[in-house]
Structure 1
C-alpha cells in the first residue's frame, strides 16, 4: 500500500494541507500513522479524503458527513467499505494535478487576454482550483496543453472559453444520463436513504468499477465517429470544388 506525506496526500486529492488538517480536527479523516516525527497517510486516507471532498461539493455539512460515514461503517466490513470508497472516489482520469504559480500563469497567457476574471471563470468550470492566494491547481494538465495549442493556432480566448463551457455542459449531461441508467437498472427500487449491506458491498464495488471504462469507451467511440463524419462533411463543404478541379474523376 502506498504511503504519502500530508502535502502529497493533499495534492493527489486536489485540496490543501490546511483542509486536510481541518478534516482531521473534525474527525472526518482518521489520524495518520506516526513514524517518529513523520506522519504517513495510506491509500485508504486518500480514498476517504476524496469521498469527503465529493460530499462537501454536493453541499453536505461536516456534521452530516460524519454521521453518514459513521452510519455507513456501522455493522459493515471496513475492508469492503474502503474498497467501495476507493472505486467511487478515484478520479476518472489518471493524470496528476499540476501546481502553478498564479503570476506565472498570468505572465504566460496575458497576451491572449487571460486575467484574474478569466482565472475565476476557469475555476467555475472546474479546470482550476485555488491553492492559497498565489497558486492554482490545474485539474487536467492535458486540457491546459490543448488550450495552449489552440491559442497558438489562432483560436481566440473568448471562443475557447465558450467551447469549454459548452463541452462541460454536454459532458455533465452525459454523466447524469449514465447515472440515471445505473439508478434505473443496476440499483432499481432503492430509496435515497439506502446504503449497501455487507453482502451487497462487493457486488456494488465490482459494478461501479466496471462503469468507468464502459462509460469512457462509449463516449470515446461515439465522439470519434462524430468527428469523422463532421470532418468529412466540412472538407466537402469547404474544399469540394478544389477537389473536383484537381481530381475530376472522383
Structure 2
C-alpha cells in the first residue's frame, strides 16, 4: 500500500496542504495514521480527496458534501462508494514502485548534470515522489528505464526533460478528450449539478474500470502506427533509396 505525507498527498491530488487540513477540519477527510510525529495517508485518503475535489468543482458546499458522504457511509452504500474511489485512485499501471536513495540516483546520473531542479521536474512529471529527505519513490520504473536508455544514446538531459513534459501535456489532452466523450455519450443528460446516487455507483464504477484498457489500447495502437510511418519517412529522408530495402511504405 502506498503511503503519503501530507505534502505528497496534496501534490498527487492536485491541491494544497492547507486545503487538505481544511477538509480534515470539516470532517470530510478521515484523519491520517500517526507513527510517532509523522502523519501518513493512504490510497483511501487519496481516493476520498479526489471525490471531494470533484464535488467542490461541481459547486457543492462543504455541508452538502459531508451530508452526501455521511449518507453513502452505510452498509453496501459505503462499499459501492469505496469501490468507485478505488478505481479513481488506483494507478493505471501494474508497475511496482521502487524506493531509491537520492544519493545513489544522483551518483548514477552524475555525468548528466542531474540537479535539484531536474529532480523537481521529474517529480512534477510523476516519475518520482520524495520519500523523506534522503530517498525517492520511483513511481514509473519504465519511464526511468527509458530515460536511462535515451541518455545513454546521447540525448541531453534538458532535451529529454523538455520532450517528456511535452508528451505529458499531450497525453493530458488525450485524457481530457476521452473524458469529454464519456461525459457526452456514456453519461449524457446530466446537468453540472448532478451527483450519483447510491444506485448509480456500481454502474459508474464498472464504466470507469472499462475505460482504462480501452483508452490505453487505443492510444498505444495509434502511437505504434504513427511511429512506423514517421520512422519510415525519417529513414527515407536520411538514407534515400537504401531505406526501401528495409522500410517499405506503410500507411
Which TM-score tier does this pair reach, normalised by the shorter chain?
Answer: 0.7 to 0.9
C-alpha distance in 2 between matches for 1:48 and 1:67: 21
C-alpha distance in 2 between matches for 1:124 and 1:186: 31
The CA RMSD over aligned residues, in Å, is: 3.4
Cα deviation, residue 19, structure 1: 7.4
* 241 and 112 in structure 1: CA distance in 2 versus 1, 3 angstrom threshold: same
- 2:109 partner SS: helix
Q: Which runs of 5+ in 2 are unaligned?
A: 10-19, 34-40, 247-251
Q: How does 1:81-92 map to 2 (within 5 A)?
A: 81-92=81-92
- 1:74 partner SS: helix
* 197 and 165 in structure 1: CA distance in 2 versus 1, 3 angstrom threshold: same
Contact 2:126-2:140 within 8 A present in 1 as well: no
C-alpha distance in 2 between matches for 1:178 and 1:243: 37
Q: Which runs of 5+ in 1 are unaligned?
A: 1-7, 33-44
- 2:193 partner SS: coil
* 19 and 156 in structure 1: CA distance in 2 versus 1, 3 angstrom threshold: closer
Q: Deviations over 1:97-156 (max 9, x none)?
A: 222111111111121111111111212222222222222222201100110111111111
Contact 2:232-2:243 within 8 A present in 1 as well: no
Q: TM-score, normalised by structure 2?
A: 0.75
In the alignment, what sits opposite 1:40?
Answer: none
C-alpha distance in 1 between matches for 2:8 and 2:237: 54
In the alignment, what sits opposite 1:111?
Answer: 111
C-alpha distance in 2 between matches for 1:19 and 1:122: 14
Q: TM-score, normalised by structure 1?
A: 0.75
